[in-house]
Amino acid sequence: MLALLPSAGPARTFGLPASSEYKGEIRRDPEGRLSVVESGRTLAGTAGASRPATLKVGPGERVRTIGEAAEIARDGDVVEILPGDYRGQPAVWTQNELTIRGGGERPVLFADGRNVEGKALWIVRGGAIHIENLEFRGARVPDGNGAGIRFERGRLSIHRCAFVDNEMGLLTGNSPELSLEISDSEFSDAPRHDGALHHLLYVGAIDRFVLTGSRFSNGYRGHLVKSRARENHVRYNLLADGPEGRASYELEFPNGGLAHVVGNVIAQSAATDNPILVAYGAEGRRWPDNALYFAHDTLIDARRQGGTLLKLWADEFPDGMEVWILNNLIVGAGESGLHPPPRGRFEGNRSAPESALIEFAGLPVRLKPDDPLRGSVRVPGAARGEALWPDAEFTLPAGQRPIRPGRALAPGAFQ
């Protein structure tokens, strides 16, 4: 028989423990392992306990600001910034194998007077980082070098982005460990105040620089593109200052280096402060290997005052420089606008009046179908294993399309 014992005192009550802070969700990956997906993160990988995640950023998301995303993102993640205007949200990115992209209609990032470290709207200081479909506007800092992006460490690729009204569109450090690749992007509207020179793109003394399918316009006193890189590949771009532009050089390699410049349209405005379109070696030798391969470019000088299309500072290179100038189309200035280099090749350069050309982006660049200059130049071959004939063409508003030119080549960027 079971006896009930009398109560020894008042009844005791037991409450539930306090709710724990929400840390995320527990998920099981395809291999059966458990992992925690943090707040604002969704799985995007295929294996591993610390798999990549997608962080969505926007006013209605758990991650509301870009700065917060930069703090919580991990190596291998994808940061997706939703469409809209993002004002005064500077960030420093230090991750590796990180993708930062705009989702849908391109988000616009306004500096609105804010910056990080007195340098830029964004600083990239990581491993391999890819940035896509974002617009950077209005970067200003006290020393006048405010960049949309300041690139200081690692490997950076930029695709389908825009840099507008920044003191420097994109500015890199001077480390030979850096590598930069830009494709299908737009750089425009340098600030119209005196002081520091505002380059739309300024590449420091880095290892490798690749620029393709991109458009540059409306500079002011600074250059459209300036690169001190050891190795440069500039192909299928539109470097045209435009009627209101006042850029200095359209393209400059002040310290020489290895440069392939193929299939570009390079145009100087009538209001430019500098009569030179392309400059190579003005500040002397930095790298042991110095060669310029300049082929199938279309060069336009709107000044009509006998400007210099390509200026070489050969006397700054006592060990010499190799220069090939092949199959370029000169609009309006005559073949005298290009001159044979001290050492190298010079052939196939032709001139044409504006009346003989079809306009593209408001510029006379494309030969008419029955023009006798079509088929007038030889296949230029290759240099250092890289073809010197164009296998793509620039497209508007920014981009490139592949082409298959025959052996009957036309001079210039468009076949």
* Domain spans of the chain, in order of start: 52-319
Work out the average pLDDT over 36-58: 61
Measured CA to CA, the distance from residue 366 to residue 340 in angstroms comes to 25
CB 140 within 8 A of CB 167: yes
**Residue 38's pLDDT band (boundaries 50, 70, 90)?**
low
**Residue 303's pLDDT band (boundaries 50, 70, 90)?**
confident
Q: Please write the tens of the pLDDT for every residue from 308-359.
A: 899 999 999 998 899 999 999 999 765 557 899 999 999 999 999 998 999 9
pLDDT of residue 234: 98
**pLDDT at residue 410 is higher than 90:** yes
Measured CA to CA, the distance from residue 304 to residue 238 in angstroms comes to 20
Q: According to the CATH classification, is domain 52-319 in 2.40.50.140?
A: no
**Residue 189's pLDDT band (boundaries 50, 70, 90)?**
very high
CB 309 within 8 A of CB 280: no
pLDDT of residue 30: 31
**Portion of the chain with pLDDT greater than 90, in percent:** 77
Q: Which residues, in sequence order, are CB contacts of 371 under 8 Å at separation 6+?
A: 352, 356, 410
Q: Which residues, in sequence order, are CB contacts of 52 under 8 Å at separation 6+?
A: 43, 44, 45, 74, 76, 77, 78
pLDDT of residue 28: 36
Measured CA to CA, the distance from residue 390 to residue 406 in angstroms comes to 11
Work out the average pLDDT over 101-114: 97
**pLDDT at residue 182 is higher than 80:** yes
**pLDDT at residue 264 is higher than 50:** yes
Work out the average pLDDT over 11-36: 44
pLDDT of residue 32: 39
Q: What is the mean pLDDT of the chain?
A: 88
